[in-house]
Homo-oligomer: A and B are copies of this chain.
Amino acid sequence: MTFASNTALSPAARPLAREGLRLAPLARKLSALRALSPQERAWLGMVDLSRERFTPGELIQSEQRPLERPYLILTGWAARQRVLPDGRRQILSFLLPGDTAGIRRGPAPIVPTSVAALTGVEIADASFLRSFAASADNENLADALSIAQAVEEAQMLDHLVRLGRQTALERTAHLLMELHGRLSAAGLSNGWEFPLPLTQEILADALGLSVVHTNRTLQQLRRQNLIESRNGHVTIREPEELARIGAYQRPRLARAPVNGEG
């Protein structure tokens, strides 16, 4: 598996079919945060995945039935969300392949949110990660997981700024940059092109906008040749400009060996 040079442009971008490759997004993501030892990578390859499937719209966890075990997204997109009494919905974060939920918590008092599958979603029990991280052997892995946690928090804060202080155009630009960054880290982008299997309604609920205005904002980005989108895929044409508009900054971590990805 590619582990050092993160040149996602290699022609090896084949559909992931083989069993062992289901963990590729996680492995990539963590490797980018902290170099893993060969043994640690081996661990990740040997895991027996008890998978579970969800169809679009299905709830992976809900406020009534919180999660029992930590889990890992293998394929598909999900969203952590909260719904107001009158039906308004706010998406709190997107869960992409390689993302986990519930790893960190020991005495697990959990916040009332639900997680909905946005596309078809395949998850795996991620208890193994918790135990791996606990072992003294896998120091890098534990570090990587803890960094991943911090990155997740940083994304949350970005989201707050988007919703609180940015215009529709800025929000959208920023979110697209973030999603590209995350998908790239998981090896799921192709240069500046990446899958965006979301309806505009979902996007709107994430961006805190109406569907109509989300539509118009996307059109504006397209009209200005900043992005291109068709068929559930987006290509960022002008990364610099899009980042400028959204005031987007790649995750900068204090102690971590940040990988400069162009």
Contact = CB atoms under 8 A, between A and B. Distances in A.
Nearest to A249: B112
A195 interface: no
Interface in A68-91: 82, 84-85, 88-90
Interface stretch (A15-23, A35-43, A213-221, A251-259): A251-259
A69 to B, nearest CB: 14
A147 B247 contact: no
Interface in A104-162: 105-113, 142-143, 146-147, 150, 153-154, 156-157, 159-161
A8 interface: no
**Interface residues on chain A, size class:** 35 or more
A230 interface: no
A150 B92 contact: no
A188 B88 CA distance: 33
A82 B161 contact: yes
A66 interface: yes
Contacts of A249: 112
29 contacts: A66-B254, A82-B160, A82-B161, A84-B161, A84-B165, A84-B166, A85-B247, A90-B160, A90-B164, A105-B146, A106-B146, A108-B255, A109-B147, A109-B150, A109-B254, A110-B255, A111-B150, A111-B253, A112-B154, A113-B157, A156-B160, A159-B160, A160-B160, A160-B163, A163-B163, A163-B164, A163-B208, A164-B208, A165-B208
Given A109-B253, A156-B160, 6 more contacts: A90-B165, A92-B161, A109-B147, A109-B254, A111-B253, A156-B156
